[in-house]
A and B are shown apart, each in its own frame.
Chain A
Amino acid sequence: MLSLRNLVKVYPGPVTALRGVDLEVPRGMFGLLGPNGAGKSTLMKILSGLLEPTSGEVTLDGLDLVRHPEALRPHLGYLPQEFGFYPYLSGQDMLRYLLELKGVTAPQGLKALCAQLLERVNLTFAAKRKVKEYSGGMRQRLGIAQALAGNPKLIIVDEPTAGLDPEERQRFYRLLAEIAHERTVLLSTHIVEDVAMLCPRFAVIRQGRVVAITSPSEAKAALLDTLYEGTVPPADMDSFQQAHRVTQAVLFEGRNRVRIHAPPGVPVPPGFERTPPTLEDAYLLLMKDAPGPSAPVPPSAPAVGA
């Protein structure tokens, strides 16, 4: 179990990136959802031991990771949002180097293991090619291979599907789902669909605070029978938004296809029909409802629909 207690990070400026994050991350897949600049990457860096928090606690199975970040490293698989490799090494040499730095062992030997891992991420064909010749997607896949190496207890993946095509993305998620049975996998993303697909539970972070901890089904259930969809002429859109809680608005055939949140008691505009909620509706409503920067951080963030 990965536990975060009152985690605060203040950058010089001062810019407060995390405002007291409390989180319990159980074994399995766990999503961290939030918009850009919410503090996700800062949180990922702290968890992976690359950044010292200003205050707070992080423990993994009772191990204090703030004071002993090195204790986590043998058990960590980390795929950061942005990374690179030594350009002068080939893919297999680069992977092997990382495996050696991690101390990964395998009965078949590191060379064979490298080949197997590269095969898993379909890079066998480019194993001997210099990394500087890799495309963005190939580089990302090499990153995934190294993150999976060594049976890590905790895998942290930060926006992992950037650069992957849809098919690769699906396959990578399948891989993550497979390995998440035996360990904690923390997936940080701003793509709601990814969380919906993979994570039985997730936390929503906004402006350095956890504003919700829930599951996709709970989040959607909380909005059941409260979402309506209809069309609004573009000219009326501004006034409509002021009058209703719009969750999403997309242009469709020159008109706004709009979804609104209307709990019981709130009048529904004419022409709007009830529609099943999506996780995206829940996420976007949370982004609208969450407390602002000046609001106090609750000791335990309310779970939507809990």
Chain B
Amino acid sequence: MNLSRLLHVARTEWRHQVRRPLFWVLLVLLVFVTWGVSSGNVTIESGSTEVGGKKAWATSGFAVAQTVLLLTFLLFTFFVSVGAGMAIISDDEARVQPLLHTTPLTPAEYVWGKFLAVLGAYVTALAVMMGLLVFFHHVVPSGAAAEFRGPFVLEHYVRAAVWFGLPLIVFMAGAAFCVGERTRRAVPVYFLPVGLLFLCAFFLWDWSPGWLDPRVNRFLMAVDPGGFRWLTETWIKVDRGVDFYNTQPVGLDALFVISRFVLMGLGLGAVAWSERHFRRMLRGDAGAKSSRASRDRMEAPPAQVALSHAEAPLSALGMGVKPPGFWAGLWTVTRAEARGLLSQPGLYLFLPLLMFQMVSQAATATGPFDTELLLVPGRFAVRSMNQASVLVCLLLMFYGVESLEREQACGFAPLHDATPVRTLSVLLGKALANSLVAVVLLSAMAIAGTLVQVSQGTVPLSLTPYLLVWGLLLMPTFFLWMGFILAARAVTGGRFGTYALALGALALTGFLAVRGDLTWVTNWPLWGAVRWTDLGAFQVDRSALVLNRVAVLGLAVFFTALAVRLDGRRAHDAVTTLEALNPSGLARGAWRLAPYLVVPGVALVSLGVLVGQGYQGAAAKLRAKQYWQKNLATWKDAPQPALVDVDLDVDLEPEASAFRTRGTYTLVNRQATPLARFALSGGDAWKDVRWTVDGKDAAPEDRSGLYVFTASPPLEPGATLKVGFEFQGHVPDGVSREGGLLKEFILPSGVVLTSFEATFAPVVGYQEERGVDPKENRYEPRVYPDDFYVGPTEAAWGSGTPFTTRIRLSASEAYTLNSVGVRESDTVKDGRRTTVWRSDHPVSLFNIVAGKWDRVAGEGTEVFHHPAHGYNVKEMSRGLEGARRYYSEWFHPFPWAELKLSEFAGLDNYAQGFPTNITFSESIGFLTRASPEVNAVLLVTAHEAAHQWWGNLLIPGKGPGGDVLSEGMSHYASLKLIEQLDGPEARRQAARGMETRYAKDRRVDGERPLVKLDGSREGDTSVVYEKGGWTFWMLEDLMGRPAMHAGIQAFLKRYMNDADHPVLQDFLAVMRPFAPDAAAFDAFTRQAFFEVVVPEYRVTEARVTKEGAQWVTTATVTNAGTGRMPVEVAVMKGERPVSLPTQTAPAADFHEARVRVEPVAGAGARVTVRSDFAPERLVVDPDVRVLQLRREQALAPLTAP
């Protein structure tokens, strides 16, 4: 290899690379993006969100590494692929290869020179990016991001570039170069970044269930070319605290270092492989068909190769011409394009990847509490819409542009363009053929979904949802996108201009989506806008959806028309083009295109009006803001009367989403002083509102939705009055702004209405969250004093004390109408059902749920479900019965006669345990996939059923720690019920799942003790549920089951039906006398409730020796975490028998021996375990009884002598 020639090639190519627009577009993007991230948008998810709280720096080693790897991955991979992959293809198209390779230039000099040039160019861009990051972070820093900025540490930037940026660039450049050289086609080159993006963003970076085998996890970390999975799993997933991230460099391990070198080796190896192939091709050894027939054809030219030996005149052939019509031309072009498309390898390479991705996604879809879900075609189709639209749009862009460029690239354009086929036929033919990509990909996705469904063997197969979702909703998106590509190509006249416009459009849409600025008007790909429910597809926002699709189809036609108009097959003259650009010329052009804008224009304007008038529109937002503005200061903490009785008549019209409510609230003054004024919050969209007080018409002051009544005379303490009301409305009232979730609704598929919000009934007092916009007027949560719970504490929800209800519901007879209490009557007259519900024991909340269900009755329980969703009903019924029976034994007898569980359309993912009337979204429980290891159906049922006690019978106090008594206690109850019904192994599995979720979602720095949790910080939810549940479980472990039950029963008796609502301190005060060891109780509760401590055990120096007939295991158990808990250490042999109902316990030869240790934080405890069997492993906390971090490290394999 001649170095001089190699450098000459490299220099020439480098100049070309850095001068082309592609490179400069990248630089411009880098400037914008690095400027954007310097505002503190990319930091490690750690630290506090409070004003003045400790923030994670955007300049820390971890943040810079994260920024560099994301930018390199998202931006560089596309540009590097095009730059490297097209290097040799461009020379082919320029036909310079024969000239170049008749010079002394060797293939090695040529190939490596080209590659090094591309690599050099993009490494230069990487250096520019690093320089820009330093510049924006430290030289001209954003003032608004001061708290996210740490000191300048050069090492952070160098390490990030070297370990995260450079390897990926080398790999991508090498791989793309290789693909370009070997295929000599553009589309496979473009597949690389798209495929990689798909693989990483939707799988490698995202998929990490708690049960994943650590070896598999490490393998996935190693194969992730971006390094994001390694960074997350190794350093970020379990929060190490903001100080750690801000000050420490990213520690590298052998796995990561080796994977980086392998990655670069693969890139360089790919180039070496290309060089070998290129050399062989020049020699004629490669590239030719290897089939015998082909060789024969090439080797045996015909005897006669002269032009013509035909004697008959040409006219004898009888040829005529009938210019092809639109359809004939369309068919001809489509067929030829389809052949071209199918001749490309990219599609075949990509399909397996896509199917693998879809299968893994479908098979691992999870719902609340990380429960696995059954695959339902419609939900799968909707869930995959975002991915499908991004992926297919990218592929359509690449295929479409290359298809439009094909005639030019292969020199066929002069012949093709001189034919009489219509331009519209040509453009649409190409678009249609390329739409085959979409059809093939969607078919593959449907096959993937179907395969998963078949493997699950539960949900029946159906193609209709796929046709409905992808056919009706996605295909218009693809039509629009192809039309846009055609128009962009016509406007820019070239390949890279089209790519720039199209990628720009996609990026802009993504930007708007991330900012939450997409609405039905602008959301052309329907990202995140659509929800699926088996109970009735697309009943929400249907008019918006239809108009959006009409607009999209109309725009597709417009862009196609624009393309036909601009994409004349005749090269336009510059002078006449300039003339056409004068105002009158432009006006003429616009006028000709105007008809195509009528349909999309009307649709978009109508959409805009609908959205503006909808329940999330500007007017509704303004009204809510006015409610907040006008009433916050006066009514937020104003004393209010309490409800003692609710009497409601609610007529429902599900087909029209309408309701009419008539009713009365009986209110009592439980305050110590007379109430001169009180307020009820009304619904924003209520119509024809009428009020009465004690039966007389009343005209309360309407303060933007807060109705203020003046009691004359003032309501004395203990006195009652009746407020009557009548109004009507719609739920939802109009269309949403951008689709998405819907908590309450009246739809043909069913009804869900709750007393939390003023949707179908007034709410007593001022609603704190109403009119608060997170971006505009959210204020920080109230700071409570440590003794805030002393004396009466306000209820966390509801009116404070239980009340009685009578709720009369009416709707079409097809619906079952459920509410709280017992069913007093259920009659049908004139096709209309009327059901009356009356509380047989006071309640604190009420709700309405209606649907067209099947019913499964148990002992004092009923499950109402969609007829097709009977998969888990038996298990749910078992859970409900078990909950009713055992919670009654453990906590307090269930005071109501019935316990119902009703399914509602999965327009939101939640379950709510209203008294006697639990509601589950279809994705919770009904579509949960139970596995032998984790009975997820039982877990969610047990949790929601526990709210009958923890949340209804006992309403916790408003303030820190209150929620733990509701959610944490329900989780604790679930663990108990799971163990009761399914045995200890099932409980261990469920507890491990809770522990994993806690470790994953907690924020080390933001985490507060249980008694301080108010739900305002990131990570609070996980702590409330998972740690809360675990803590109560550990408390029971400490106190013993009988003492715990006795304490809980005493606690409930003390606080049920009381005006003082308890928080954790009240709970502990009641429990302490029941503790057998008060000192141990105090020591435990201090750590578990008043501090933030989590042990983290590690086993080192594990060794087994034999002493006589015994094996002696010694090891050091170190607590690398915090706190001090007694914990068992066991040595084991064989597999522990399991006792799941679904499994047969293996008759394994299982042995174990245990000791108990209590290692303090940061110290090790030496353990010695004697056993009369040869131990195979040592396990800390074998019964999963101590909440800890990184449990996978708390074991050691043993080798017995």
Q: Do A and B bind each other?
A: yes
B412 touching A86, Cβ below 8 Å: yes
Stretch of B320-328, B792-800, B1150-1158 that contacts chain A: B320-328
Q: Is the CB of A120 within 8 A of B322?
A: no
List of B residues within 8 angstroms of A102 by Cβ: 321, 323-324, 419-421
A175 to B1198, CA, bound (A): 92
The CA of A247 and the CA of B515, in the complex, are separated in Å by 77
Q: CB distance A106 to B414 under 8 Å? A: no
B302: A residues at CB distance < 8 A: 122, 125-126
Q: Within 8 Å CB of B412, what residues of A?
A: 83-86
Q: Is A89's CB within 8 Å of the partner chain B?
A: yes
Those of B310-330 within 8 Å (CB) of chain A:
310, 313-315, 317-324, 328-329
For the complex, is A162 an interface residue (Cβ under 8 Å from B)?
Answer: no
**Chain B residues near A88 (CB-CB < 8 A):** 339-340, 343
- Provide the residues of chain A in CB contact with B339, threshold 8 Å: 88-89, 93
Is the Cβ of B336 less than 8 Å from the Cβ of A86?
A: yes
Question: Is B1109 on the interface with A (CB-CB < 8 A)?
Answer: no
Interfacial chain B residues near A12, Cβ < 8 Å: 574
Q: Which residue of A lies closest to B576 (CB)?
A: A52
Pairwise interchain contact A103-B410, C-beta atoms closer than 8 A: no
Taking the complex as formed, is A49 at the interface, i.e. its CB lies under 8 A from any CB of chain B?
yes
Contact of A70 among B304, B319, B321, B420 (CB under 8 A): B420
> Which of B340, B406, B421 has most chain A Cβ within 10 Å?
B421
Q: A119-B310, A122-B305 are in contact. Are A105 and B418 (CB under 8 A)?
A: no
Residues of chain A with a CB closer than 8 A to B328's CB = 100, 103
A144 to B333, CA, bound (A): 22
Q: Which of B215-223, B565-573, B831-839 contacts A (4 or more CB under 8 A)?
A: B565-573
Q: A104 interface residue, CB < 8 Å from B? A: yes
A126→B298 CA distance, assembly (Å): 10
CB-CB nearest in chain A for B335: A97
Please measure, in the bound complex, the distance between the C-alpha atom of A80 and the C-alpha atom of B175, giving whole angstroms: 38
Cβ of B415 and Cβ of A150 under 8 Å apart? no
B307 within 8 A of A: yes
A182 near B: Cβ within 8 Å? Answer: yes
B332 within 8 A of A: yes
Which residues from chain A contact B323 at a C-beta distance below 8 Å? 73-74, 102-103
B416 part of interface (Cβ distance < 8 Å): yes
CB-based nearest A residue for B406? A86
A103 to B324, Cβ gap below 8 A?
yes
Q: Pick from A82, A133, A182: contact of B411, CB below 8 A.
A: A82
Residue of B nearest to A168 (CB): B307
User: Among A51, A97, A116, A122, which residue has its beta carbon within 8 angstroms of that of B336?
Assistant: A97
Chain A CB within 8 A of B144 CB: no
Say yes or no: is B308 at the interface (Cβ < 8 Å to chain A).
yes
Q: Pick from A10, A73, A129, A150: contact of B320, CB below 8 A.
A: A150
Q: Are A151 and B406 in contact, with the CB atoms below 8 A?
A: no
Is B570 within 8 A of A104, CB to CB? no
CB neighbors of B among A84-101 (8 A): 84-89, 93, 97-98, 100-101
Q: Is the CB of B308 within 8 A of A48?
A: no
Chain A 10-21 against B: per-residue CB contact (8 Å), 1 yes, 0 no? 111000000000
The answer to whether residues A178 and B313 also contact, given A10-B575, A70-B420, A98-B419 and a CB cut-off of 8 A, is: yes
Instruction: Check A10–B321 contact: CB distance below 8 A.
Output: no
- Distance in angstroms from B591 CB to nearest chain A CB is 19
Q: B410 is contacted by which of A86, A113, A133 (Cβ under 8 Å)?
A: A86
Contact of A106 among B309, B317, B416, B569 (CB under 8 A): B317
Task: Number of B interface residues at 8 Å Cβ cutoff, please give it.
Answer: 52
B318 and A101 form a contact (CB under 8 A):
no
Residues of chain A contacted by B297 (CB below 8 angstroms): 126, 129, 133
Contacts of B813 in A (CB 8 A): none
How far apart sit A137 and B301, CA to CA, in the bound complex (Å)? 13
Closest CB of chain A to B164's CB: distance in Å?
40
8 Å CB contact of B570 from A50, A137, A152: A50
Q: Which residues of A contact B321 (CB under 8 A)?
A: 74-75, 102-105, 150-152
- Please tell me if A253 contacts chain B, counting CB pairs below 8 Å: no
| Alpha-carbon separation in the docked complex, A50 to B419 (Å) | 10
Also in contact, A113 and B317, with CB within 8 A (given A51-B571, A74-B420): yes
In the assembled complex, how far is the CB of residue B706 from the closest CB belonging to chain A, in whole angstroms? 69
Q: Does A230 lie at the interface of the complex (its beta carbon under 8 Å from any beta carbon of B)?
A: no
Bound Cα distance A118, B171 (Å):
48
A107 pairs with B418, CB closer than 8 A: no
Asked if residues A101 and B416 are in contact (CB atoms below 8 Å), the reply is yes
CB distance from A168 to the nearest CB of B (A): 4
Known: A86-B410, A103-B420, A148-B314. A164 touches B322 (CB 8 A): no
Q: Complex: how many Å from CA A255 to CA B309? A: 43
Residues in B657-679 with C-beta less than 8 Å from chain A:
none
**In this complex, which of A10, A82, A85 has the most chain B Cβ atoms within 10 angstroms of its Cβ?**
A85
With a cutoff of 8 Å between Cβ atoms, the chain B residues found around residue A60 in the complex are none
Nearest-neighbour CB distance to chain B for A195, whole angstroms, equals 19
A122 lies within 8 A of B415 (CB):
no
Q: Is the CB of B340 within 8 A of A122?
A: no
In the assembled complex, which residues on chain B have CB atoms less than 8 Å from the CB atom of A283? none
Chain B positions 1147-1188 with a Cβ under 8 Å from a chain A Cβ: none
Partner of A167, one of B306, B410, B411, B420: B306
Give B337's nearest chain A residue, CB to CB: A86
Q: Are B317 and A117 closer than 8 Å at their CB atoms?
A: yes
The answer to whether B417 has its CB under 8 Å from any CB of chain A is yes
Q: From the candidates A50, A148, A151, name the one contacting B418 in the complex (CB within 8 A).
A: A50
B304, B319, B417, B571: the one within 8 Å of A105 (CB):
B319
In the complex, what residue of chain B is closest to A44 when comparing beta carbons?
A: B414
- How far in angstroms is the closest Cβ of chain A from B642? 80
Q: A84-B410, A122-B308, A168-B307 are in contact. Are A53 and B573 (CB under 8 A)?
A: yes
Instruction: Closest B residue to A85 by CB, please name it.
Output: B412
Q: Is A9 an interface residue (CB 8 A)?
A: yes
Closest partner residue, chain B, to A80 (CB atom): B414
The smallest C-beta distance from A108 to any residue of chain B, in angstroms, reads 7
Cα distance, A286 to B325, chains bound together (Å): 47
Contact A141 B317 (CB under 8 A): no
Contact of A73 among B294, B304, B420 (CB under 8 A): B420
Chain B residues with CB under 8 A of A175: 307-308, 314
By a CB distance below 8 angstroms, the chain B residues around A174 are 308
Scan A217-236; emit 1 where CB is below 8 A from any B CB, else 0. 00000000000000000000
Q: Are B411 and A10 touching (Cβ within 8 A)?
A: no
User: Separation in Å of the A91 CB from the closest CB of chain B?
Assistant: 12
Per-residue interface assignment for chain B, residues 822 to 841, with 1 indicating a CB less than 8 Å from any chain A CB and 0 otherwise: 00000000000000000000
* Complex CA–CA separation, A133 to B294 (angstroms): 10
- A202 contacts partner chain B, Cβ-Cβ < 8 Å: no
- CB proximity to A under 8 Å, residues B759-810: none
Check A49/B318 contact, CB under 8 A, given A86-B336, A89-B336, A119-B310: no
Residues of the B chain whose Cβ atoms lie less than 8 Å from the Cβ of A78: 414-415, 418
- CB-CB < 8 A to A272: which residues of B? none
Cβ contact within 8 Å between A83 and B414: yes
Q: Which of A50, A89, A103, A146 lies at the interface centre, i.e. has the most chain B CB atoms within 10 A of its CB?
A: A103
Most buried by A among B289, B315, B419, B574: B419
Bound Cα distance from A54 to B574, whole angstroms: 8
Contact A51 B570, beta carbon cutoff 8 Å:
yes
A144 close to B418 (CB less than 8 A): no
Residues in A with CB closer than 8 Å to B414 are 45, 48, 50, 78, 80, 82-83
Task: Determine the distance from Cα of A144 to Cα of B307 in the docked complex, in whole angstroms.
Answer: 10
18 contacts between A and B (CB under 8 A): A12-B574, A45-B571, A50-B417, A51-B571, A54-B574, A80-B415, A85-B411, A101-B332, A101-B333, A101-B416, A102-B421, A104-B320, A105-B319, A105-B320, A105-B322, A167-B306, A171-B309, A172-B307
Residues of B within 8 A of A (CB): 289, 294, 297-298, 301-302, 304-310, 313-315, 317-324, 328-329, 332-333, 336, 339-340, 343, 406, 410-412, 414-421, 569-576
Instruction: Give me 6 other A-B pairs in contact (C-beta within 8 A), A54-B574, A82-B411, A125-B302 excluded.
Output: A78-B418, A84-B411, A102-B324, A151-B315, A151-B320, A179-B313
Query: 4 closest A-B pairs (Cβ-Cβ)?
Result: A84-B411, A73-B420, A171-B307, A125-B302
